[in-house]
Amino acid sequence: QVQLVESGGGLVQPGGSLRLSCAASGFTFSSYVMNWYRQVPGKERELVARITSGGVTTYADSVKGRFTISRDNAKNAVYLQMNSLKPEDTAVYYCNAIWRLMIHWGQGTQVTVSS
């Protein structure tokens, strides 16, 4: 059974940091491109960061220099380190795995940046 389980969300003040984790199971994690998306009510889900099976990373312009995606294939996990958080980073963050035509989603974790 394929599972992606996000954790690490919560409430943080502007300028603060959070680290999101996504634990994967039920598929060959090391082969997959892993992504973090986010969504706010009324808007489309947007890609925040991506890491390929080979470790190549890409970021949305809005988070470059502040967020870092990483993966640990031995632990079947992907992470999103978020620094210098802004109120506009408030969203539900989703973990996503893609390999060829296979796509898997987690249930999401809420991140709220507010004073």
Nearest CA among 43, 58, 57 for reference residue 92: 43
Q: CA-CA distance, 61 to 47, in Å (whole number)?
A: 10
Contacts of 17 (CB under 8 A, 6+ apart): 81, 82, 83, 84, 85
pLDDT, position 65: 97
DSSP string computed for 24-49: EESS-GGGSEEEEEEE-TTS--EEEE
- List, for residues 57-111, the tens digit of each pLDDT value: 999 999 999 999 999 999 999 999 999 999 999 999 999 999 999 999 999 999 9
